[in-house]
């Protein structure tokens, strides 16, 4: 049975990219862009902003390839960069809000309802998902980061701890607190909608 050449490892592609091969870095981006977008989207809570943050993360990775240790997994290194870019964005947004310069007003975030037959269920599901995304995005970073990495990205507590610089037990505790806070937030919002407040 004939088999083709084995695919290059991330470390091989990084080596080639360090030597100036742009296609090698493009291949790295192709391998990792989907999970990177999902990760950032879950952290940021806004689709358009997420694209910008992912792009910033890949630009930072490209310019810092000399710092990558090929004995370690590339995706862990890239995830740390993406996480730092998410944190940078959160700090910038906090400053904007403090000065009344937030990019989005309430009128820009409201969705237009589709009145087509059968659309009510889709709108309810979409609204529930939007509420969950908004609640996750509103969590404090110390709770949001472990939650996104473990529950949404599927990393183990140990892997998430390595990225965050925490013990696996600390990750477990923070995920528990994040879930509890999400449940309280979503229950409170649901009660507010039912009561019209």
Q: Delineate the domains of the chain, giving CATH numbers in brackets.
A: 7-104 (1.10.1740.10), 117-197 (1.10.10.10)
pTM: 0.61
Give tens-digit pLDDT for 52-91: 999 999 999 999 999 999 898 999 999 999 999 988 888 8
Distance CA 163, CA 118 (A): 44
Rounded to 10 degrees, the C-alpha dihedral 197/195/125/188 comes to: 70
Asked whether the beta carbons of 39 and 82 are under 8 A apart, the reply is yes
Asked whether the beta carbons of 114 and 122 are under 8 A apart, the reply is yes
Asked whether the beta carbons of 144 and 137 are under 8 A apart, the reply is yes
Task: Name the residue with higher pLDDT: 111 or 31.
Answer: 31
């Amino acid at each position: 049975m004939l088999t083709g050449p084995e695919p290059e490892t991330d470390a091989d592609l990084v080596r080639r990219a360090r030597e100036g091969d742009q296609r090698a870095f493009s291949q790295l981006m192709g391998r990792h862009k989907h999970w990177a977008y999902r990760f950032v989207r879950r952290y940021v809570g806004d689709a358009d902003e997420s694209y910008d943050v992912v792009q910033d993360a890949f630009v930072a990775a490209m310019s810092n390839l000399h710092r990558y240790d090929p004995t370690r997994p590339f995706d862990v290194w890239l995830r740390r960069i993406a996480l730092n870019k998410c944190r940078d964005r959160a700090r910038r947004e906090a400053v904007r809000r403090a000065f009344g310069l937030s990019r989005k007003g309430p009128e820009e975030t409201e969705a237009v309802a589709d009145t087509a037959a059968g659309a009510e269920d889709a709108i309810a599901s979409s609204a529930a998902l939007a509420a969950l995304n908004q609640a996750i995005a509103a969590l404090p970073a110390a709770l949001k980061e472990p939650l996104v990495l473990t529950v949404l990205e599927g990393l183990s507590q140990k892997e998430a701890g390595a990225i965050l610089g925490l013990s696996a037990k600390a990750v477990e505790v923070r995920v528990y607190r994040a879930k509890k806070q999400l449940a309280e937030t979503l229950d409170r919002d649901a009660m507010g909608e039912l009561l019209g407040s």
